[in-house]
Chain A
Amino acid sequence: MTDTVQDRPRIRRRRAKLRDGITPGLVIRYLVLIGTVLLTVFPLAWLVLTSLRNSADIFAVPVRVLPEAITFGQYIAVFSQYGLNGYLWNTVIVSIATVVLVILLAVPCAYAMARFRLPGAKVIVSILLIMRMIPVVALAIPLFAVFASIGLLDTLTALVMAHTASKLPVAIWLLMGFIQDLPKEIEESAQMDGASTLRIIVQIVSPLIAPGIGATAVITFLFTWNDLLLALTLSSSEASQTLPVGLTNFVSQFGIDWGAMSAAGVLMVIPTLIFVWFAQGLLVKGLVSGAVRG
Chain B
Amino acid sequence: MTAAAQPAGRRWRRSPLAPSWQKGYLFASPALIVMIAILIYPLIYSFVMSFYRWDLSAPSQYFVGLSNYRDTFNSLGFKQTLRVQLIFSAVTIIIEVAAGMGVAVLVNSKLRGLKLARTLLLVPPMIAPAVVGLNFRWLFNGQYGLVNGILRYLGLPEAPWLSDPNWALVSVMIADIWQNTPLLVLLFLAGLQSLPQDPIEAAQVDGASPWGIFWHITLPLMRPILMIALMLRIIDTFRTFDVVWLMTQGGPGGATSLITVNAYQLAFQSASFGHAAAVSYVALAMSLLFLAVLYGAPWAARKLRRNS
B partners with A: yes
Chain A residues in contact with chain B, CB under 8 A? Answer: 1, 10-11, 14-15, 18, 25, 28-30, 32-33, 36-37, 39-41, 43-44, 46-47, 50, 58-63, 105-106, 108-109, 111-113, 115-119, 124, 127, 131-146, 148, 161-162, 164-166, 168-169, 172, 183-185, 188, 191-192, 197-198, 201, 222, 225-226, 228-229, 232-233, 243-244, 247-248, 250-251, 256, 258, 261-262, 265, 268-269, 272-273, 275-277, 280, 283-284, 287-288, 291-292, 294
Given A46-B139, A105-B31: A145 and B106 interface contact (C-beta under 8 Å): no
Task: Report the Cα distance A35→B23, complex, angstroms.
Answer: 55
Given A132-B235, A141-B277, A287-B183: A59 and B136 interface contact (C-beta under 8 Å): no
Contacts of A276 in B (CB 8 A): 119, 122-123, 126
- Asked if B165 is at the interface of the complex by the 8 Å CB criterion, the answer is no
Instruction: Out of A36, A112, A141, A243, name the residue touching B107 (CB < 8 Å).
Output: A36
Contacts of A228 in B (CB 8 A): 128-130, 241-242, 245-246
Task: Report the Cα distance A61→B145, complex, angstroms.
Answer: 9
Chain B residues in contact with chain A, CB under 8 A? Answer: 4-5, 8-9, 11-13, 15, 17, 19-21, 23-28, 30-32, 34-35, 37-43, 45-46, 49, 56, 102-103, 106-107, 109-111, 113-114, 116-132, 134-139, 141, 143-146, 149-150, 152-153, 178, 182-183, 185-187, 190, 193, 197, 210, 225, 228, 231-232, 235, 238-239, 241-242, 245-246, 259-260, 263-264, 267-268, 273, 276-277, 280-281, 283-284, 287-288
Contacts of A191 in B (CB 8 A): 17
A280 touches B122 (CB 8 A): yes
Given A14-B109, A142-B46, A146-B42: A184 and B9 interface contact (C-beta under 8 Å): yes
Q: For chain B, what secondary structure do more than half of its interface residues adopt (helix, strand, loop), or is it mixed?
A: helix
B21 touches A117 (CB 8 A): yes
Q: Output the nearest chain A residue to B231 by Cβ-Cβ distance.
A: A294
B187 touches A118 (CB 8 A): no
Contacts of B31 in A (CB 8 A): 105-106, 108-109, 168, 172
A137 touches B260 (CB 8 A): yes
A1 touches B190 (CB 8 A): yes
Contacts of A142 in B (CB 8 A): 42-43, 45-46, 49, 277
Task: Report the Cα distance A44→B128, complex, angstroms.
Answer: 12
Contacts of A261 in B (CB 8 A): 134, 138
Q: Output the nearest chain B residue to A162 by Cβ-Cβ distance.
A: B38
| Further contacts, 18 of them, CB under 8 A, given A146-B45, A283-B122 | A32-B103, A36-B117, A43-B132, A43-B136, A124-B32, A132-B235, A136-B239, A139-B43, A143-B42, A148-B56, A164-B34, A166-B38, A168-B39, A226-B127, A233-B267, A280-B118, A284-B118, A294-B231
